[in-house]
A and B are shown apart, each in its own frame.
Chain A
Amino acid sequence: MADTPFIARGFHSRRAPATPGRLPPGQYETRDFPVLSAGPTPRTPLAKWDFTIKGVDDRSVRWSWDELRAFPHETPNVDIHCVTKWSKFDTSWEGISVDTLLNAALAAGVQDAPYVMAFSDGGYTTNLPLADVTGGKAWIAFGYDSAPLPPEHGGPARLLVPHLYFWKSAKWVRGLQLLREDRPGFWEQLGYHDRGDPWREQRYQGDP
């Protein structure tokens, strides 16, 4: 970072260093899986659950839980990084690549656009460039550690975008809205960065 750091008198590292190149700046490794969310955990019965991809012209596709689960599954093993400073290595997930779903949506006539807004039960939203959820970089995850994703971690399904800070990996996700222009989601309106790359420490609005 550009600013000259202030040296804290008498401060020394107390932790064994993580594998070089694996921990983004300002982060520390945890073995727990902390839970962070802004309100109570929403619960939608799977019979009423669906997943929607909305195009810019209001044309959309919608899949029920069973229809969504019929798409080919992937099992990403990834490191995740929370803006509250913890990182967790080698988390294992089961889900469907966003590429798979977007391709199906485009084939069904949904109109493409350069940005997406993920939206969730409970009213949560988060914005991302389309390029950050395509090219094998993002999933709709419904399994964690060989079990169904627990509700407090976003089950039945959450967005998983491990190369960005974890608030972008919207819990309880119910769909993606394609957008011509970027516009801030829930935390982004409240001061968090529009992109959130942990390697560039894009934590808050105005960060590089």
Chain B
Amino acid sequence: MTDLRAVGAPPRLEWLVSTVAKVHNETRRARTLVLDVPLWPGHRAGQHVDVRLVAEDGYQAQRSYSIASPPESPSLELTVERLDDGEVSPYLCDVLRVGDGLEIRGPIGGYFVWDVAQGGPLFLVAGGSGIVPLMAMMRHYAAAPNELRADVPVRLLYSARTLDDVIYRDELEMGSRVDARVSLALTRDAPAGWGGYRRRIDRAMLEEVGWPPNESPRVFVCGPTPLVESVANLLVEIGHVPSRIRTERFGPTG
């Protein structure tokens, strides 16, 4: 493996105090924070940031959150899923408000990343809030010039519990109009007349909606560990080359 790193001491990733410019609820459990970050160095689709909260008594908690906004966006967006027994996500979802400062550092991660110049076809598989870094890729794709997009067909398979748990639902429905084929799989309840999948992601589904192995797609899978483990194993069984499959597993991050 070649050394990708430049010679010399690397600069420290500094903690930056961002300002909450906007917040909006995506679902009952997920909220997007729109942050103004002075001196943000830019990021790639799929990267994450560390968030640090320090209480007045000095107690601190840190967590990592995927970046939802594409590199083209002037502000940094994080979408946070609220975990009731957590201590950082309830703060970010319930307490933090417009005008507050929020300490972040990043961007972090250089493997689970994609840009349109890398080409495709692209197959994105998300479970739950695992959609967040994949949405940054979709948004980056949507922002690319038409001639670049034409050569990079995109398919997204997204598994959520119910339709109300689908993060970025409106935008994903629009996303299907920029050549990205979006398939939804609902694992618990589906509304009457639901035309999408009504089961967990399985091999048949991956074969129906994904690209066949001979198209050599780049595949990104993000979600809870059982989903990622199962999807990645099935993709290898179907015949996809393991090195074309990149995974990010969301453990419990409270």
What is the interface of chain A, defined by CB distance below 8 A to chain B? 3, 5-15, 25-28, 30, 32, 34-42, 84-86, 122-123, 125, 152, 183-184, 186-187, 189-191, 203-207
* Contact (Cβ within 8 A) A36 B3: no
Chain B residues with Cβ below 8 Å from A183 are 3
Which A residue's beta carbon lies closest to that of B231? Answer: A40
Q: Which of A7, A35, A40, A84 has the most CB of B within 10 A?
A: A40
- Please report the C-alpha to C-alpha distance between residue A203 and residue B58 in the assembled complex, in whole angstroms: 20
B64 at the interface (CB under 8 A from A): yes
Whether A39 contacts B64 by the Cβ 8 Å rule is: no
Contact of B251 among A3, A41, A86 (CB under 8 A): A86
Is B254 in contact with chain A by the CB < 8 A criterion? yes
Q: Using A5-B103, A38-B247, A41-B232 as known contacts, say yes or no to A189 and B62 having CB atoms under 8 A apart.
A: no
- Mostly helix, strand, loop or mixed at chain A's interface? loop
**A interface footprint on B85-123 (CB within 8 Å = 1, 0 otherwise):** 011001100011000111100001111100000000000
Q: How far is the CB of B238 from chain A (nearest CB, A)?
A: 11
Check if B60 is an interface residue, CB within 8 A of chain A.
Answer: yes
Chain B residues, CB < 8 A from A190: 4, 109-111
The interface residues of chain A lying within 8 Å CB-to-CB of B60 are 5, 25-26
Q: Which of B11, B86, B254 has the most CB of A within 10 A?
A: B254
Contact of A35 among B100, B101, B225 (CB under 8 A): B225
Q: How far is the CB of A198 from chain B (nearest CB, A)?
A: 12
- Asked whether, in the complex, the Cβ of B4 is within 8 Å of the Cβ of A39, the reply is no
* B55:A206 contact, CB within 8 angstroms: no
In the complex formed, the residue of B with least CB distance to A190 is: B110
Known contacts A5-B103, A183-B3, A191-B110; is A85 also within 8 Å of B253 by CB?
Answer: yes
Q: A13-B55, A13-B61 are in contact. Are A123 and B243 (CB under 8 A)?
A: yes
Chain B 5-45 residues near chain A, CB threshold 8 A: 5, 9-15, 17
Docked complex Cα distance between A204 and B107 (Å): 11
Closest Cβ of chain A to B216, distance in Å, is 15
Determine the residue in chain A with the shortest Cβ distance to B107: A191
| Contact (A26, B4) CB under 8 Å given A6-B103, A39-B232 | no
Beyond contacts A5-B103, A8-B100: 4 other A-B pairs, Cβ-Cβ < 8 A, are A5-B15, A11-B53, A13-B87, A125-B1
Q: Which residues of A contact B1 (CB under 8 A)?
A: 123, 125, 186, 189
Q: Closest approach, in angstroms, between the C-beta of B23 and any C-beta of chain A?
A: 14
Chain A residue at minimal CB-CB distance from B234:
A40
